[in-house]
Each structure stands twice: as structure tokens, then as C-alpha cells.
Amino acid sequence: MKRLSLKETKLLTETLKRVNSKLKDYIGVTNVGIGLATKNGELTDIPSIIVVVKQKIAKKDLDKNEMIPQEIDGIRIDIVESNPVEQFADPYQKFDELIGGISISNFRLSGGGTLGGIFYDKDTNEPVGITNHHVVKRLSGRTGDAIVQPAWSERNTNTIGTLIAYDKQLDCAKFSLSSRTVANYSKQNEIVGDIKGILEITPEVIGLAVQKSGARTKVTFGRISAIFETDIYVVPNPQKTPPNTEISQQGDSGALWISDDGQMNAVALHWGGDLNVYRAYAKRFDLVAKKLNAKI
């Protein structure tokens, strides 16, 4: 699988801007973006506009004007079924050092997810933890809630921080570190699985090899197959992932997708998987970091 060049990405982006509204008007369309086309369940090297639906409708059940075109301006349109689910789950191992990839939760909320990593507040330079909104906030969480590690249990009093900011649309949240954990967190941006030294926050590239360490599935490998306004899609990297293998499961929400090209850059914040295909969903981390006022 190739990585799209800047020229190819620019052409797709400019075309999508012209047809975005038109494509979203078709029956059942939930999102549109750019990426690589899929054929017989396998990712190809064909640059495409990606149209997302919950369920494909047979042509015989549609009028001609209701059918999504196969291409626009010579660019292929690939229709993708997507049925995402959030991935938070039960408690896991306790860690003495605060490090990305471990299970966490809001003390008052059942279930849990993954700590993406430790970053820094742009204004105060204080260390902060970043994870998903649906892991530590959801409907009933609130600013000031205790964040615990490992994930929720009635007897868990291992408070590692306090919820201080969140955004539902980008499914992200940050928490300040407790006085105890401030003295015991990874200063090298380490993540479980011997992932060390996140260098910077980088824009997403279609075809880019990535990796993540989740509380449930640990380190898994993928490639970015599509990019949308706020999200990216990740599919298994066939060079590193056996066939029919999940790259994310319940409990991995909040994990950080990092470039797997020797650069170790933060790319996206994982938030879910799919009910029917081997695909992961994540929020673009450049947007997350900006919203949460965070830096490396």
C-alpha cells in the first residue's frame, strides 16, 4: 500500500470541497472524506473520495437520481459501510509509573479506557493526561472528577489526576496530574510496548503506517485508509498483522495512534472499532491537541 503524495492529496481535497455538500445529500450518507479505495475487502492504491454509509442499498431499490456516482472528475468514489462502536471496558493492570497505554477511568463512572499519553498544557507547561471524552466524561462526568488507574472499581482509590477539560465532538479530554503522580510519570513520552520518544504532533497522511498501544489489545499495527473532517480510518497493516486480526477492542478507547515509520509522531486519538469489519476509528490529533491546548 502506498502513501499518497502531496499532489494526490491536494487533488482529492480540492475535488471533495466542490462536491462535499452534494454527496452528503444522498440517502444514507453519514460522512465523506478522502482515502484509498477498497476492493474485495482489501485496501488498494487507488486514490478515492470515500463516502460512508451505515448500510449499502441495492441499485434495484434506488431511483437513478438516488445512486451515488462511481466517479467525479475522473476520481473514483468508494462507498464504505461503517458501524462504529466506542471501546471502553473493565479494569486492568495497575502501573506505578504513569505512562501511555494503561487503563484509566473516571472514579464515578463504570467501565474504562486507555490513557493516550502525557502531554503539556501550552499555557502552564504542567503535565496533563489525554484520553477520550466518553472514557472520563460521558453524560454524568464533570470538571473536578477524580481520574483513577487502573480503570473503575468500587475499591479503586488510586487517584492519578483531576478532569479539567473536554470536548464531545472531538471525543477528547484532559486531566491534571495529582501531586503524587506529578513526581512519577514518563518524562520521555513513553507508551506501553516499548514505544518511546514521541517527537511531535504530525498531520495525517493517507497510507501512513501507524501503531497504537491500548489497554486491551496492547500494541497493534495499521495504516491510515481514509481521512475525514475530524476523523481517520485505520485498517490492519498486512505486513505486521495476521489475517482476521482485530487491531482494537473494548478498553482501547483513548489510545494514541503513532506513526510507525521511525519518527514516532502523534497522529490520532483512538475512539472505536467497527461491528462488521477490521477497522479502527480515531480523531485527528492535531485537532485534539489544539482543542485541549496541549503540546508535546
Poorest-pLDDT segment among 55-64, 91-100, 265-274: 91-100
Closest CA to 45 of 20, 78, 74: 78
pLDDT of amino acid 188? 67
Quick one: three-class SS letters along 59-84? HHHCCHHHCCCCEECCEEEEEEECCE
pLDDT of amino acid 109? 87
Residue pLDDT, tens place only, 87-141: 755 556 778 888 899 999 999 888 889 999 999 999 999 999 999 999 999 999 9
For residue 48, pLDDT over 70 is answered with yes
For β-strands 75-81 and 42-53, DSSP reports them as parallel
pLDDT of amino acid 1? 63
Residue pLDDT, tens place only, 200-211: 898 889 999 999
Alpha-carbon distance of 40 to 33, in angstroms, equals: 20
Question: Grid coordinates in use for 223?
Answer: 495504516
Q: Which residue has the cell 477511568?
A: 105
3-state class of 110 per DSSP? coil
* Burial (0-12, 13-18, 19+ Cβ within 10 Å), 151: buried
Alpha-carbon distance of 223 to 203, in angstroms, equals: 14
Identify whether the C-beta of residue 253 lies closer than 8 Å to the C-beta of residue 271: yes
The distance in angstroms from the start CA to the end CA of the chain is 30
* The residue type at 251: G
Going by the DSSP 8-state scheme, the letter that residue 83 receives in this structure is -
Non-local (6+) Cβ contacts of 236 within 8 A are: 220, 221, 222, 223, 245, 247, 278
At 23, which helix (H) or strand (E)?
helix 6-24
pLDDT of amino acid 152? 65
The pLDDT-based confidence of 2 (bands split at 50, 70, 90) is confident
pLDDT of amino acid 156? 64
